[in-house]
Amino acid sequence: MIRRAFFIVIAALALTSLTVQAGSTPARAKLGMVITQSDIASQVGFEVIKSGGNAIDAAVATAFALAVTHPTAGNIGGGGFIVFRPASGEPVSYDFREVGPSRASPEMWLKDGKYDFDTHHNSHLSVGVPGTVAGLHLAWKEAGSKPWTALVAPSIKLARDGFEVSHGLARSLASMIPEFKKYPASLVQFSKNGQPYEAGDILKQADLAKTLTRIADQGPAGFYQGETAALIEKEMKANGGLITAGDLKAYEAKKRGVVKGVYRGYDIISMPPPSSGGIAVVQILNVLEGFDLKAGGYGSAQNIHYTAEAMRRAFADRARYLGDPDFEKDIPIPMLISKDYATGLRKTIDPKKASKSATNSFTWTSESPETTHLSIVDAKRNAVSMTYTLEYGYGSRIVVPGAGFLLNNEMGDFNGQPGLTDERGMIGTNPNLTRPGKRMLSSMAPTIIAKDGQLFMVTGTPGGRTIINTVLTTILNVIDYGMNAQEAVDAGRMHHQWLPDRIGIERFGFSADTIKLLQAMGHTVQEGGNQGAAQVIVFNQKDNMLEGGVDRRPADGGAAGK
């Protein structure tokens, strides 16, 4: 009897503690926090904050460190976006998206009149003129406080002296060896004479250290002119690529405004074109604001239905309207992010039935989930949300011989064949056709949220087109479903992008009954792998505490802070 009572008590305690402990605890810090996909890089960034640097200083140092320790996506040969919200003053963005070289043209992806996937995505032609170094320098010039050289220095050391290869990086590099074999400098840099690095090995990148030293000493000229530019041009000339020293010298990063929305009283601040990210996130939120998501509950079929329908509509508009604003002068941004427009869209959603995406309309090519995001808040609560990318994992897989860094394959984000939009995933609409000096359309959505004039949340993720929907769900998870930063990152994710007409869900993300209910409404539901790698910081104003959610879907990653 006593034994039985004992077990009942134990069982009750277990149940209680389970209930109490449901959900994960976020990382916590007061002074500042940096979250990235590389522990080492996060630490580099936080050291900058600890020594009195601000969020932009930390972003610069962290981004250069990631170019060494997270070569999958961290880069100096790619591009991206920073959204910066200073503790006081107006938020701004820095656009360092790659551009088409001067000899690029809308038809350059055709071979004998037919679209050629490999040329578009896996060739020297797929490389856009890189923007990262110019972008980091512009942000630093405008808002940094520490000497440039001091911010580049940690990455030089990491490249020259090496760092310990993690299990995740070892696996990732091993899987890429067949690709690296196409490019001798890539194989030399990322393998031991063709044999894979193992966890615990030290990876040194001497050529990269030299390039970073030129960047530290000369600023952007150390990349866009002189020796580095000459090495890039030489690689291009020898392999049919288009980028010239003139293209490199002409590259300019741009300071832009931000896209602003208001969702249930929270100010949403995100990236404008040439990214579609900010507009799409705000548009979807505006549509969803008219539904009581809180009452529906996280993960309910009803809420997934509403969310998927809102996503479907935003992605259709993305394909129709969005491209580089310096080329496409008529993008109707105010309309797309207006509450009235969202109200109209909401009225077209049947609460019980899936809409159908028109099959003769837009569809999208696939993208690999390899980009990387940094969320940073400093002691004064300045915040940086930065996403940058090489496009595919390891970009074009081409290491510039003698310069030690990977080139992007971002030209693949331009539309493939003018006028050809079809079921197989081609899109040929005008706003995103390839042109010299033009930025290819992105989905990156570095986002910052404020409430009552104070910082509330920093969020962003990699993941190609799923970026928009992953960022969106981290926002819904915190604002509507009351999750903490870690719970918001951990929760299962879903995706709809108009065409192909289906809801993608993460494996183990939602229950079998939920999927059945969605199917009964007419949705096609497809289970897939991980969606994104979000890095989220929520600022708990009451306790003056930064709470971080680190995405454990990818192998590495971590929050640094104190």
Binding positions for ligand DON, rule: CB under 6 A? 367-371, 389, 391, 410, 413, 442-444, 462-464, 467
Q: Which residues contact 296 (CB under 8 A, 6 or more apart)?
A: 302, 303, 306
Q: What angle do CA 112, 115, 121 make, to 5 degrees?
A: 120
Q: Position 310: which residue type? A: A
Cβ atoms within 10 A of the Cβ of 506, count? 18
Residue 440, SS3 per DSSP: coil
- Rounded CA-CA distance 387/446 in Å is 6
- Rounded CA-CA distance 477/539 in Å is 15
As measured in angstroms, the least distance from the Cβ of 70 to ligand DON is 12
- Rounded CA-CA distance 451/537 in Å is 14
As measured in angstroms, the least distance from the Cβ of 461 to ligand DON is 8
- Rounded CA-CA distance 375/59 in Å is 8
CB-neighbour burial class of residue 191 (10 A; exposed 0-12, middle 13-18, buried 19+): middle
**Residues 181/187, Cβ–Cβ less than 8 Å:** yes
In terms of CB distance, is 291 or 392 closer to ligand DON?
392
As measured in angstroms, the least distance from the Cβ of 11 to ligand DON is 44
Beta-bridge mates of residue 195: 192
- Rounded CA-CA distance 455/86 in Å is 9
Q: Which residue has the tokens 């690529």?
A: 241
Of the residues 69, 371, 429, 459, which is catalytic? 371
Q: Which residue has the tokens 């897989």?
A: 397
In terms of CB distance, is 293 or 499 closer to ligand DON?
499
State both tokens at 93.
């963005």
Q: What angle do CA 499, 495, 354 make, to 5 degrees?
A: 60
Q: Position 31: which residue type? A: L
As measured in angstroms, the least distance from the Cβ of 400 to ligand DON is 20
CB-neighbour burial class of residue 204 (10 A; exposed 0-12, middle 13-18, buried 19+): middle
As measured in angstroms, the least distance from the Cβ of 506 to ligand DON is 15
In terms of CB distance, is 533 or 546 closer to ligand DON?
533
As measured in angstroms, the least distance from the Cβ of 442 to ligand DON is 3
Q: Which stretches of 348-429 are assigned E, i.e. beta strand?
A: 371-377, 383-389
Quickly list DSSP for 211-261.
Answer: HHHHHHHHTTHHHHSHHHHHHHHHHHHHTT----HHHHHH---EEE--EEE
- Would you call 371 a catalytic residue per the annotation? yes
As measured in angstroms, the least distance from the Cβ of 43 to ligand DON is 23
In terms of CB distance, is 155 or 371 closer to ligand DON?
371
As measured in angstroms, the least distance from the Cβ of 79 to ligand DON is 8
Beta-bridge mates of residue 494: 505
Active site residue ranges: 371
